[in-house]
Amino acid sequence: MAAPERDDLTGRYTTGHEWDGIKELSTPIPGWWVGVFLISIAVALLYMVLYPSFASTERYYEGALKYSSAEELRREVVAARAAQAPMRNALVETPLEEIEADDSLRRFATTGGQAAFNENCAACHGVGAGGQIGQFPALVDDDWIWGGKIADIRQTILYGIRSAHPDTRQSLMPVFGQILTPEQISQTAAYVKSLSDPTAAGSRASMPGAPLYAANCASCHGAEGQGGRDFGAPRLNDAIWLYGSSQEAIERQITNPRMGVMPAFGERLDESTVRMIAVYVHTLGGGEK
Amino acid sequence: MTAGSGITNASVTTTDAATADRPARAAPAARRPRRKPHLPQPVHGHFRRLKTRLTVIFLGILFLVPWIRWDRGPGLPDQAVLFDLPGRRLFAFGLELWPQDLPIAVGLMVAGAFGLFYATSLSGRVWCGFSCPQTVWTDIFGGVRRLAHRIAKGNEAAIGPLTGAMSAAVAILTGLGFAQWFIDAPGLAGRFLDGSLPGAVYGAVFLIALFTYVLGAHARERVCLHMCPWPRFQAALLDRDSLVVTYRRTRGEPRARKRVALRPELLATPPAGPVTGMPQAFAFAADGTVGLARGATVTAAPLSRGDCIDCGRCVQVCPTGIDIRDGLQMGCIGCGLCIDACDEVMTKIDRPTGLIRFDAEEADPAPMAPPARIGFFRPKAMIFGGAMVVALAAVSFGVANITDVQVDVEPQNTPRYVLLSDGSVRNDYTVRLSHRLPRLDGVTASVEGMPDATLRFTSGDGADAAEMAVGGQRSAANRLLVIQPPLRGDALPPAGPHPIVLVFHDTSTGAELARVDTRFWEPER
Ligand code: SF4
Ligand code: SF4
């Protein structure tokens, strides 16, 4: 190695490299830079000691501070719950019919209810509660099979429809395919369809399906097709058809009825959440007094 | 191994000859001398006066504007200009701006940016030299330091603490000055002292004070030289016609002491009136100087000098500590103080002023040529100026068209329509209303384009509500249900969206507040 050479102008050593007569100075890295570098290393080491850093296949080093983001989330959830406690208590203690008259309670319930609805109910009833024709009833309209008062809604959420819960709402439509002939079924369907058509009001009584309806259906669905909420018989004289409004769809439903099942959410959700959802659904536009 | 790198990998047992006879560290001579703080000397003159006046104006704006009152009626602040952060609004005299008026603020910023570009293309870094807060406060802290020296009267030990205390006071006043734009100004100082302000205010005042102190009193010109990004691209805005602070080499060189005889061609030029060469935009050039013929070359006769007597005043007064005689450089903030300094010197030695002056690179190089005029009619300047005017016009248009009531209607998409049991069709909308009227209690809605439709707001308890209660609130949101009665046969509209107009009225006066175009979704049937 060549002896180190000093640059006359700066007094610095050169690296000994030379290009086109220009010699490269060996300028040391600035002290502050080295300092920051070393401090960064120290901070990184400290971090590794304090926080989870090393993992093996089975365990990981938990860090001196025993920090865990899952634990932090759990704490935050507990704290958020605690912060909500007064409102939730008020929600449970206020009579159902009075909740919506209280602005702050209503806002709390509809906001939380929307979140809980989207988490628990939207899978079937859709985000926004629009339902699905042929599958799940819409909850935004004014047609309620089991009643649209807030107490009715709460009960439906709590115990479900045809669920395993002992207090569930229960109803059963007979399989008329084993009782009536296909022709009778088709006549009945035509009559049922006419129930919601005001232009058919005059001719309806003389239809061949009229006596069939009176004998087989009126006991549940009512003489005018007005439905029976006590036993979950849907209205037939309105424009809303859960399983379709065509002649074929109605025939299909008479022959071999479909009946939806809704789980009892009282087993999964606490009373305050159930009430939140009930309030939310009730305020969607079709809620009954 | 790299010699002199300061890192050696020679083993302990072997003595590397090269390492042995070299000092462990670079010799002290190799280190740069520690930078002495640059403290510019005071100067008197045209630009100094201009700077002082502008500083007084800016401080006046900062401290006095928030004290102007403006009666807005009960319940609203009576401060003419107030940034109401909790209320998320800005009061500016008769205007009340909301977050949704952001485009106006953006327009102002665009106009400001182009204004800055425009000024720069006309006359270099005048913003930096005269209006930048960093410059203004550096200048103030310079004054504070000189005042401290005067008060301490040579008592060296007292100067430091005195400067520090006075600077801290200036910094805290600055913080308060900013805070009063956000909080009722007249009561601010009192509430600040008795501790009744929210903690965030103390935090903000302290932060601003800290930044003012650190940047203005300590970092000073280093901000302009090393931290500020502006000098790094201002060069792109300049051209050869921009008026910038220029040392006139052809007249000043070669420098020498006054004893040395003047260059003959300079001698031949009779000293004329002052040649200020400042941008006309300020106050404007006297071009009485008789110049040499354009293109005349300066051939310095040995043992003769130019007008610069190398006194160094221009460097001593420069806030950034640069030598303008080296030519236009990044560090020059265009403050013109060196012009004042040199003009003083020229006056003393009986030479015409204007050896340093605002001038264009394109200017006549003749030693006694008059300064270039400011070039308003160049493409670059006109584009920047034009863009500024366009932005200002857009802002004025925006301000003129601010509506007092803003209604946003958002159709619900889940579901798009609701079929009701009697066969009617309902569409649901979320209505968000914000208003800056003195009073608005309720709003009713009607629809155009659907003759028999009924409308109702859901009040939440399931009851029909014909109107939306606003109460004293400045904004309200509610759901609006538009219900189309059952239609049959020919009257059935095709499925899909149909344009409708929702019209909103003030319940109490019946005045129309807003019309909103939206759509009504018809079902598949
Ligand atoms: S060189 Fe002159 S104009 Fe430029 S910053 Fe210094 S004093 Fe101001
Ligand atoms: S102040 Fe004027 S005369 Fe003195 S050194 Fe600067 S340019 Fe030369």
Residue B276 has pLDDT above 60, yes or no: no
Kindly give the number of the ligand 2 atom that is closest to the alpha carbon of B356.
7
- Cα(B339) to ligand 1 centroid in Å equals 8
Name the more confident of B451 and B455.
B455
Model confidence pLDDT, tens digit, residues A31-71:
999 999 999 999 999 999 999 988 888 888 888 998 999 99
CB within 8 Å: A106 and B461? yes
Reported as a pLDDT band with limits 50, 70 and 90, residue B495 is confident
- A233-282 pLDDT per residue, tens: 999 988 888 898 889 999 999 999 999 899 999 989 999 999 999 999 99
The string of DSSP codes covering A58-85 is S-B--TTTT--HHHHHHHHHHHHHHHHH
Quick check: B423 and A126 CB within 8 A?
no
Share of residues in chain B with pLDDT > 70 (%): 85
* Mutational pocket test of ligand 1: of B276, B337, B359, the residue with most ligand atoms within 8 Å of the beta carbon: B337
CA separation, residue A71 to residues A16, A75, A76, B19, B496 (Å): 59, 6, 9, 56, 50
- Under 8 Å CB-to-CB from B249, ≥6 apart: which residues? B325, B327
Nearest-angstrom CA–CA distance, B332 and B343:
18
| Per-residue pLDDT, B38 | 63
Residues from chain A that touch B488, judged by Cβ atoms under 8 A, are: 199
pLDDT at B268: 67
Output the ligand 2 site: residues, CB below 6 A: B 247, 252, 308-314, 325, 341-342, 345, 355-356
A4, A131, A283 member nearest B18 (Cβ): A4
The pTM assigned to this predicted structure is: 0.61
Residues A282/A284/A287/A289 CA torsion (nearest 10 deg): 80
Give the Cα separation of A68 and A64 in Å (integer).
Answer: 11
Angle at A80 between CA A77 and CA A81, to 5 degrees: 85
The C-alpha atoms of residue B441 and residue B474 are separated, in whole angstroms, by 10
Q: In which order are the strands placed within the sheet that holds B467-469?
A: B467-469, B442-448, B496-506, B512-522
Q: Would the CB of B320 count as within 6 Å of ligand 1? A: yes
Which one-letter amino acid corresponds to residue A110?
A: T
ipTM at complex level: 0.76
Test B463 with A289 for CB contact under 8 angstroms. yes
Determine the residue of B325, B337, B348 to mutate for testing ligand 2's pocket, defined as the one with the most ligand atoms within 8 A of the Cβ atom: B325
Q: How would residue B35 be classed by pLDDT, with cut points 50, 70 and 90?
A: low
Average pLDDT, integer, range B168-191:
89
Question: Taking all residues of chain A, what is their mean pLDDT, rounded to a whole number?
Answer: 90
A101 → chain B, closest CA residue: B461
DSSP state of B29: G
Give per-residue pLDDT as tens, A150-208.
Answer: 999 999 999 999 999 999 998 889 999 999 999 999 999 999 999 988 888 888 888 99
Shortest distance between the Cα of B112 and any Cα of chain A, in A, equals: 38
Q: What distance in Å separates the CA atoms of residue A274 and residue A162, rounded to the nearest whole number? A: 18
Nearest CA to ligand 2 atom 8: B308
Ligand minimally distant from the alpha carbon of residue B313: 2
Look-up of token digits 């859901």: B458
Separation in Å, CA of B464 to nearest CA in chain A? 10
Q: CB distance B414–A128 less than 8 Å?
A: yes
pLDDT class of A83 with cuts at 50, 70, 90: very high
Alpha-carbon distance of B66 to B60, in angstroms, equals: 10
pLDDT computed for residue B36 by the predictor = 57
Find the B372 Cα to ligand 2 centroid distance in Å: 21
**Over residues B93-105, mean pLDDT:** 84
